[in-house]
Chains A and B, each alone.
Chain A
């Protein structure tokens, strides 16, 4: 689903009328604008213009590296530089971006705005923890610096603030030293959801990167079966001598017809995927891209969901406070009958500094849901489970949650709005999502 003509789209296919204006001079094009768009990989409407706004500035061409300290790893760059580009340039020099999300096609600005997390959340937190100073164009069009030392309220609100506090122009982030650019990966089959939560907790004690792929269509005793994946950067002695080369890309040629992904084909895929993994654990050296961003190998993979697209529901459930919350969530999902092609589970560490940042300690589950007549109902149902468990949802994925559900989950919203009122009393900065969920006027 490429952005074409006069329509802008989220990765899941949510559409809004509008155009994106990209320029190397981000400072110039953000003047007077309501929202900046990065690479458009947020699934829902967070990168879409609010009704009545026709054009949004795009940051992707503003991608200069401004400084790099090869002793400390501190990197300062314009907000349009992508994580993939950073990895391409710095992995061979044995530095890595500290937090790697499921796709590398994320700009620095987008990473900060969504306060992204990765497979190492339980040890390294969100990207916010590794960010130093930010340069922002705020609502009155002035350019402001914010950090832990300066304008801290703005800094905190910007981490996970979905671009609503200002246009992020420059980002400072600390890259991390690694022993080699390769990954030592281990994986094993897990029989069900309870075992999964236990296995994740155990793996997280010894491993910096953990994640699980779950067969969200298996029911009964197999509910929540899947494959647990754990990894770490390989030691120089066990890794290949040469740095990993960029991998060839496949491409989904056109939007699949709506019937291609049905409960049968999704069930078949999930069952196959589960059984393809041997019964005994697998271990070995793998390419960092296949470990961190397996879906990036297929360009435009979102087209498999057809023209109607899909949404992702990602939540975090404080499983310790409410044991069984993850199981009840999965039961609601299978009861909904929509099926999910892809389901990812991960245990999160404690909450970071971002006022609206998504992760908190608990179990995070992400499920892709094709857009059908029942999808809204299913999302409502899942949100009920999240509410009951005292959890929350990830705005970077959302397009269907109701404002009532969102407000009931977000006890921190008032604190965020206080900062927003201070820096943007007229609420000039907004997105399609903030109109939908935060009540901003269109």
Chain B
């Protein structure tokens, strides 16, 4: 597959891009920091061991004017697009988001409005080419309004809703949307937070996501157990949710 990955320098995106590079997929990386992009590409090239070179280009979710050019460059380098992965995003604890409106605005913009805007660029390109796969990292935080993730969860709920709509409308035209809903995964993003039970590691989580991409599974929970945890949480009555701390 010819794959474009936004946010592959760290965390689950890194683990996923490594799996893809090792099995022979051709990658093009998008991200904010040219030095990090360069290191990530070298790492992937060595892991792939095929002698292929993986390109990269600057793309920042906070600068939507650059989306089209970045995707154009990726498509030109790869000779077309089969799959686009969006694992970039920002996280901040609820307390900090409540405290500082600027942090909250940035989080809401990046995780919802800009991510959707980026996906719209991808949608047009993939549909024009006859189809493709779009895999976007949302979160289990978007399943229910919850005390520790009021704002972050709201942004992710919006994103999940958008992705579901895309899937319903465009799957028959060849655009396969995969919405990834991670529970707690131990990456740099969650460093310093106390891992809850059922916390996952990036590598096994990435294997599950890759399987979902290959099969075109519209929603994938990682680690898998979160599917059942969220099934319960979705059905908890409001009076109970109000009392619970999570």
Residues of A within 8 A of B (CB): 5, 19, 21-25, 29, 55, 61, 64-68, 89, 93
Contacts and interface: CB of A to CB of B under 8 A. Distances in A.
Contacts of B141: none
Contact of A61 (B40, B49, B187): B187
Contacts of A65: 42-43, 46-47
Given A29-B191, A67-B46, A68-B46, A24 B186 contact: no
Interface in B38-93: 39-40, 42-43, 46-47, 49
Given A22-B188, A24-B10, A61-B188, 19 more contacts: A19-B192, A21-B192, A22-B187, A23-B188, A23-B191, A24-B11, A55-B192, A64-B39, A64-B40, A64-B42, A65-B46, A65-B47, A66-B43, A67-B42, A68-B46, A89-B22, A89-B46, A89-B47, A89-B49
B181 interface: no
Contacts of B40: 64
B14 interface: yes
Contacts of B191: 21-23, 29
B196 to A, nearest CB: 11
Contacts of A25: 188
B205 to A, nearest CB: 13
Nearest to B187: A61
A310 to B, nearest CB: 26
Contact of A24 (B14, B47, B194): B14
A180 B47 CA distance: 19
Interface string B164-175: 000000000000
Interface of B: 9-11, 14, 22, 39-40, 42-43, 46-47, 49, 186-188, 191-192, 194, 202
Contacts of A23: 188, 191
A304 B47 CA distance: 36
- With most chain B CB atoms within 10 A of its CB, the pick from A19, A22, A24, A29 is A24
Contacts of A93: 49
A29 B42 CA distance: 23
A66 B187 contact: no
Nearest to B197: A4
- With most chain A CB atoms within 10 A of its CB, the pick from B42, B188, B194, B202 is B188
- With most chain B CB atoms within 10 A of its CB, the pick from A19, A22, A61, A67 is A61
Contacts of A29: 191
13 contacts: A19-B192, A21-B192, A24-B10, A24-B14, A25-B188, A55-B192, A61-B202, A64-B40, A65-B47, A67-B46, A89-B46, A89-B47, A89-B49
A174 to B, nearest CB: 15
Nearest to B195: A4
B9 to A, nearest CB: 8
A24 B188 contact: yes
Contacts of A89: 22, 46-47, 49
A389 B224 CA distance: 55
A173 to B, nearest CB: 14
A23 B188 CA distance: 4
Contacts of A24: 9-11, 14, 187-188
A29 B202 CA distance: 19
A68 B9 CA distance: 19
A68 B46 CA distance: 7
A64 B43 contact: yes
Contacts of A66: 39, 42-43
Contacts of A19: 192, 194
A415 B40 CA distance: 40
- With most chain B CB atoms within 10 A of its CB, the pick from A5, A25, A65, A67 is A65
B186 A22 contact: yes
A25 B186 CA distance: 14
Nearest to B186: A22
Contacts of B187: 22, 24, 61
A19 B191 CA distance: 10
Q: 7 shortest A-B CB distances, which residue pairs?
A: A23-B188, A64-B43, A24-B188, A23-B191, A65-B46, A24-B10, A68-B46
Contacts of B43: 64-66
A25 B39 CA distance: 12
A55 B202 CA distance: 22
Contacts of B39: 64, 66
Contacts of B42: 64-67
B164 to A, nearest CB: 30
A67 to B, nearest CB: 7
B23 to A, nearest CB: 13
Nearest to A4: B195
B44 to A, nearest CB: 9
B137 to A, nearest CB: 16
A130 B125 CA distance: 49
Nearest to A93: B49
B91 to A, nearest CB: 13
- With most chain A CB atoms within 10 A of its CB, the pick from B40, B46, B202 is B46
Nearest to A57: B191
A22 B11 CA distance: 11
A147 to B, nearest CB: 21
A29 B22 CA distance: 29
A22 B10 CA distance: 12
Contacts of B188: 22-25, 61
